[in-house]
Amino acid sequence: MGGILGLLAAIGWGSADFLARYATRYIGSYRTLFFIQFIGLAGLSVVMFATGSLQSLSRLTGDIWIWMGLAALLYTGSTLALYRAFEVGKLALVSPIAASYAALTTLLAFVSGEQLSRLHVLGISLALVGVLLAVIPQASGTEKSKMRARGIGWAIGAAIGLGFTFWILGFHITPTLGGITPIWLLRLVAPVLLMLGARPLEQSLELPPYPVWKYLIGIGLLDTGAFVANALGFTLAQVSLVSVLGSLFSAVTVLLAWFVLHEQLFWRQWLGIGTIFLGIFLVNS
């Protein structure tokens, strides 16, 4: 079940990132991230009340508050960097770099004591290789010269921040609070941090125009659902395995670009998609 939740997270994040590309180029990464928090917070608040998950807040000890605060800072900063990468960079280049967060989470999970079988290690390796093969297009000389575009730096920062964020959630928060409450708290704290940072960073929080809200609502619901699926997966399976499956969101983005925008997939990308599915089979075996 944990593997299925990891795959659902990948589908949600991949779809949300596809929509985020449009929203960030309309209103910028800062405003996009700010307004999607409220959409996710509203949806999760209904779930919290309906399921009685608010009772889990009584388990917030001093240590959990510290870890939760650190996770909120990392989540806000890394997601802002990710959306900035989508705004200024090439999606096919920045998306796989951001997806590499799973390698850092897996390393941290291993250091923290998780044991992986050889079959799982092989599956994880194949999945990561498949992501790279699937999302990086056939490079021409001109495309290679753009590898140092400014969006790449933002994507690297996002990968590092997300890698630590999911390690903290998986090892220090979800075992105590479950899968829903931590994401609700992230959605509660993130807009406060963004409001505090808006003036120093000279960012506008003006309401977006009406046409952009269809993207914001879609991003907010998909992104929040993916985070919940990922966090619930942490409670049912190894953090490293769920993180790797969640990192397949880049392949979802590529498939959406092929289906919706009719972008061509090269043979190497089809090979990557096949490698991903083989890795998923081994991870869940």
pLDDT (tens place) for every residue of the chain, 285 residues total: 777 888 899 999 899 988 988 899 899 999 999 999 999 898 888 888 887 777 888 888 888 899 999 999 999 999 999 999 888 877 766 777 787 787 788 778 888 887 777 877 787 788 778 777 766 655 555 555 454 456 778 988 998 999 899 899 988 898 888 878 888 999 899 999 999 999 999 999 999 999 999 999 999 999 888 888 888 887 787 777 787 788 788 888 778 877 786 766 677 777 877 787 687 667 655
Domain around 10: 2-283
Q: Look at the chain and report how many structural domains it folds into.
A: 1
Residue 222 confidence (pLDDT):
93
The pLDDT assigned to 33 comes to 93
pLDDT computed for residue 145 by the predictor: 45
What pLDDT was estimated at residue 90?
72
Contact status, residue 208 vs residue 31, Cβ threshold 8 Å: yes
Q: What is the CA radius of gyration of the chain?
A: 18
For 132-152, the DSSP string reads: HHHHSPPP-HHHHTTTT-HHH
Q: Under the phi-then-psi rule, with left for phi > 0, alpha for psi from -120 to 50, and beta for the rest, what region is 209?
A: beta
